[in-house]
Amino acid sequence: MKNTLLSVLPKDFPWADTIIYLDTVDSTNTYAKALAKTGAPHGTCVLAGAQPGGRGRLGRHFSSPAGQGVYLSVILRPECKPADLMHLTCCAGVAMCDAVEKASGIRPQIKWINDLVVNNQKLGGILTELSVNSAGFVDYAIVGIGINCCQQTEDFPEELQEIATSLAIATGNRILPVTLASRMLQALCHMDITQKKSVMQRYKADCLTLGQDIVVLRGEEKRYGKAVDLDDDGSLIVAFSDG
Ligand code: BTN
């Protein structure tokens, strides 16, 4: 896989020397985090064929069966404060919409804040994790992305069959994981996290949550409202029904 990936990436791809491919690893985010702790450089990329312990937000499991999707984590080392990276998941979201569109011809939408969605079904997700040093600056950020590529409906666990999709289902075509991985890596490498405003403008155009009636859950509390806007950090601005 690594050699095929290197053969489809542009010859001058800046992160080519730091690509790590593992047939199976519990979670590429966990693996990348361990590498980052030992000093792995900016742009270190970890890809896996399968992830028995794939992780999503809020401690959820991310189903990552062998050869069916792209499971990728990248280590970033921007020199900034964590507050300057609040929009990182959004930035990666727009980059992944670009990557999927280039690989498959269809542009996913984003369900705030980190779900990639096609026809209201989940195509993939993003898990961003940050570490801060003792001076209060970002030590590293891990951006982990999983995208379903080759599954047919019956390949998903039964509880996901109605809510998940893949590029094969959505396009009717066979998109090779290596083609998608190449586009994902290029899009991540070219993200400009310093351009918060323009990133968020693009995110808003892809975000299907805006304008929707939503429920905000905090512990046991439920509040009903409408998602009206996003600020430049990617926070959702909600108008509650009580005004
Ligand atoms: C979510 O759905 O909440 C986010 C899913 C993120 C999954 C990716 S797959 C590569 C990386 N490694 C993980 O364990 N998680 C992310």
User: Could you write out the DSSP letters of every residue in 16-27?
Assistant: GGGEEEEEE-S-
Cα 55 to ligand 1 centre (Å) = 5
Q: Is the CB of 114 under 6 A from ligand 1?
A: yes
Q: Is the CB of 69 under 6 A from ligand 1?
A: no
Spatial separation of the C-alpha atoms in residues 102 and 2, rounded to whole Å:
20
Q: Is the CB of 28 under 6 A from ligand 1?
A: yes
CB 77 within 8 A of CB 37: no
- Tell me what pLDDT residue 241 has: 80
Mutate to test the pocket of ligand 1, among 44, 55, 129 (most ligand atoms within 8 A of CB): 55
- Tell me what pLDDT residue 89 has: 98
Q: Is the CB of 111 under 6 A from ligand 1?
A: no
CB 54 within 8 A of CB 64: yes
Residue having the nearest C-alpha atom to atom 11 of ligand 1 = 144
- Tell me what pLDDT residue 179 has: 98
Q: Is the CB of 121 under 6 A from ligand 1?
A: no
**Nearest atom within ligand 1 for CA of residue 32:** 12
0.85 exceeded by the pTM? Answer: yes
- Tell me what pLDDT residue 1 has: 83
The identity of residue 203, as a single letter, is Y
Mutate to test the pocket of ligand 1, among 20, 51, 142, 165 (most ligand atoms within 8 A of CB): 51
Taking 70 as the pLDDT cut, the residues of the chain under it are: none
Spatial separation of the C-alpha atoms in residues 135 and 113, rounded to whole Å:
28
- Tell me what pLDDT residue 119 has: 97
E strands in the chain:
19-24, 45-50, 69-76, 109-111, 115-118, 121-132, 138-148, 213-218, 221-230, 236-240
- Tell me what pLDDT residue 204 has: 98
Burial class (CB within 10 angstroms; exposed 0-12, middle 13-18, buried 19+) of 77: middle
CB 85 within 8 A of CB 66: no
